Structure 1
Amino acid sequence: MYRIASAAGLAVAAAVLAPAAASAQMRVEALNLTLTATPAVATDYLFRGISQTRNRPAVQGTFEALHDSGFYVGAFVSNVSFLGTDARQEVDLLAGYRFEAIGLSWDIGAIYYSYPGYRRVAGTQEIDFIEGAVKASKIVGPVTLLGSAFVSPNYFGRSGTGVYAEGGADVALPLGLTASGRFGYQWIEREPRFGTPDYATWSASLSREVFAGATLAVGYYGTNISQNECSGGQKLCDDRVMVTLSRKF
């Protein structure tokens, strides 16, 4: 394989499944822009339930410039490690538009996933790809309901059409805690080229600001992919606990 899942990690960025991290904001009034930076360190980098670092820690950053009109551009960066390739970093570029309609908050955009420094060799596939994304959310008391869909015309590793759908909720709890749950499903047109069959993924996490603006998130992540189905028997798709620490500054 070469990666059995793509990285967006915290991306569309930072992973749709990853718990929300603390962020630092700067306002540029002359341009009507809000600039946001979200640095984080984590015990793994999971994208749709699959490790992008071969079960090793990750250092990541998400950056965004949001205009008052609702249009935004951003980027996500992380270290990665895919067996059999020289890919060592991921840089994702994203752009989109946020707005309110029919009682929902919408986010419609696109993400370009790239791996600078990756050199394709004989027998391997190109790994850069593009996805379109539609996300919607609604706040009901202490609960935020979330839904999203992502479509790629040629998914990671040139595996054909890829479609991912996800739903979930974030719940504000006492003591400053936030509980999050997600369930998603990934469809892949050319499963052998991608490295796994179509699969389901899920997560449950708790997050809280713990000290000096730092937010700690602990989550349990899983898929229904067996080890034999996980890119030739790699332990990248197993259930696991992941810890993320981010800092507000």
Structure 2
Amino acid sequence: MKKVALLATALAMVSGSALAADMAYKAVKAPPPVAFDPWDVAFGSAITNDYVFRGITQSNHKPSVSAYFEPRYNVTKDVQLYVGVAGASISFANRAAAEIDAYGGIRATFGAFAFDVGAWGYLYPGGTCHYGAATDTAGVPLSNECQVNALLNGNVIKKDLDFFEVYGKVNYTFNDNFSLGGNVYYSPNFLNTGAEGTYASIVGKAIAPSAWFGASGIGMYVSGEFGRQWLGTSDSFYGVPAFPNGINYADYNTWNVGIGFTYKVFTLDFRYSDTNLSQGDCNAFTSDHTATFNGSFTPINPSGVGSKWCGAAGIVKLSADLTAMTNLK
């Protein structure tokens, strides 16, 4: 009987302890869900010794400053809508001194894949038309602003170079240190020349392990891009005697490779850029007002004037990039 009583007492104690533990567990409230603020804003600025776009200088190989402002709306943690406006100082043959960009799109992440699709508009205010005749080479009358303003080297260029592109990008992140991606851009009227433009490229980036720099906060990466720009036929404004209705611009390859260092919101990037575009075909495409005669004759560049805007360039760029949610809390 004594043993039975002791067993009953022990079972009651175990049962009571289990019930107490269960009651205590049920009494703990779940933590409140983490607040999700869908809105964010990214913004930044940069200064560079040469603004190079797809292998071609936009600043006549001179320094350029730029800035951007980009509101974002996060539909979910993996889907983001964005719009933005950006500006940069340039030096174009039509005397436009600024590029103003307006863009928007959607970014989505699925596992290691990141996608980005959207549209980008390029505006170049302040331009002046340079032609030097009352009609173009096909005999089409030009506006008064184009009748007496030929460039000294014989090149011609429109006042309005505004255009837009649609684009798609994909990037695959293998790990914390390496990613690889591809980009495609298309414009029905590149630089308002009348020619279609398609640009495709492959990009890669390797980030140094954080252990390399310890607790200093400094980061380092190596990145590169190889791309090809396909261009169609211009309208008659840019025609030459052999092709009065327009010239078929030369397609070309472009590439760049560089090393960068990051610290907090700052990035210092050193880069080499080049193309395989000849000086003659470069002159025909850019209407470079600084180009000089050097015997660069091509079918679409019968003047023999050659431009160095598409050649090798060393680029140094210092930029700062912030987001309101991360840097301004």
AA aligned to 1:169 is G
Matched residue of 1:156: which SS? Answer: helix
Q: Which residue is equivalent to 1:76?
A: 86
Structure 2 residue 53 is the aligned partner of structure 1 residue 50:
no
What is the CA–CA distance in structure 1 between the aligned matches of 2:233 and 2:249, rounded to whole Å? 9
What is the CA–CA distance in structure 1 between the aligned matches of 2:70 and 2:248, rounded to whole Å? 32
What is the CA–CA distance in structure 2 between the aligned matches of 1:214 and 1:191, rounded to whole Å? 41
Gaps spanning 5+ residues in structure 2: where?
Answer: 1-34, 130-144, 147-155, 213-218, 239-246, 284-304, 323-329
Match of 2:261 among 198, 204, 208: 208
Match of 2:232 among 181, 189, 198: 189
Q: Which residue is equivalent to 2:171?
A: 137
What is the CA–CA distance in structure 1 between the aligned matches of 2:262 and 2:36, rounded to whole Å? 32
AA aligned to 1:59 is V
Structure 2 residue 74 is the aligned partner of structure 1 residue 39:
no
TM-score by length of 2: 0.62
What is the CA–CA distance in structure 2 between the aligned matches of 1:189 and 1:154, rounded to whole Å? 9
Q: Which residue is equivalent to 2:187?
A: 152
What is the CA–CA distance in structure 2 between the aligned matches of 1:191 and 1:201, rounded to whole Å? 21
Answer yes or no: is the 8 Å Cα contact 1:195–1:230 preserved in 2.
no
Larger helix share, 1 or 2: 2
Give the deviation of 1:104 after TM superposition.
2.0
What is the CA–CA distance in structure 2 between the aligned matches of 1:213 and 1:148, rounded to whole Å? 25
Q: How many residues align?
A: 219
What is the CA–CA distance in structure 2 between the aligned matches of 1:159 and 1:221, rounded to whole Å? 27
Matched residue of 1:68: which SS? Answer: strand
Q: Which residue is equivalent to 2:102?
A: 93
Give the deviation of 1:191 after TM superposition.
5.9
Q: Which residue is equivalent to 1:222?
A: 274
What is the CA–CA distance in structure 1 between the aligned matches of 2:112 and 2:92, rounded to whole Å? 42
TM-score by length of 1: 0.81
What is the CA–CA distance in structure 1 between the aligned matches of 2:112 and 2:268, rounded to whole Å? 31
Q: Which residue is equivalent to 1:111?
A: 120
Q: Judging changes above 3 Å, is the alpha-carbon distance between structure 1 residues 100 and 240 closer, same or farther for their aligned structure 2 residues? A: same
Larger radius of gyration: 2
Q: Which residue is equivalent to 1:173?
A: 208
Aligned-residue RMSD, C-alpha: 2.3
Larger relative contact order (Cα-Cα within 8 Å, sequence gap ≥ 6): 1
What is the CA–CA distance in structure 1 between the aligned matches of 2:320 and 2:81, rounded to whole Å? 25
Give the deviation of 1:101 after TM superposition.
4.5
Structure 2 residue 204 is the aligned partner of structure 1 residue 198:
no
Matched residue of 1:230: which SS? Answer: helix
Tell me the alpha carbon deviations over residues 174-205 of structure 1, each in whole angstroms, 9 at most, x when there is no partner: 44211101000000102694895110000001
Matched residue of 1:177: which SS? Answer: strand
What is the CA–CA distance in structure 2 between the aligned matches of 1:191 and 1:202, rounded to whole Å? 25
Q: Judging changes above 3 Å, is the alpha-carbon distance between structure 1 residues 166 and 136 closer, same or farther for their aligned structure 2 residues? A: same
Answer yes or no: is the 8 Å Cα contact 1:135–1:149 preserved in 2.
yes
Larger strand share, 1 or 2: 1
Matched residue of 1:197: which SS? Answer: coil
Q: Judging changes above 3 Å, is the alpha-carbon distance between structure 1 residues 213 and 161 closer, same or farther for their aligned structure 2 residues? A: closer
Q: Judging changes above 3 Å, is the alpha-carbon distance between structure 1 residues 74 and 195 closer, same or farther for their aligned structure 2 residues? A: farther
AA aligned to 1:246 is S
Give the deviation of 1:33 after TM superposition.
1.5
Tell me the alpha carbon deviations over residues 139-167 of structure 1, each in whole angstroms, 9 at most, x when there is no partner: 00211111010000111132321100011
Gaps spanning 5+ residues in structure 1: where?
Answer: 1-28
Give the deviation of 1:228 after TM superposition.
2.5
What is the CA–CA distance in structure 1 between the aligned matches of 2:162 and 2:306, rounded to whole Å? 24
Q: Judging changes above 3 Å, is the alpha-carbon distance between structure 1 residues 124 and 247 closer, same or farther for their aligned structure 2 residues? A: closer
Give the deviation of 1:34 after TM superposition.
1.1
AA aligned to 1:190 is T
Answer yes or no: is the 8 Å Cα contact 1:93–1:111 preserved in 2.
yes
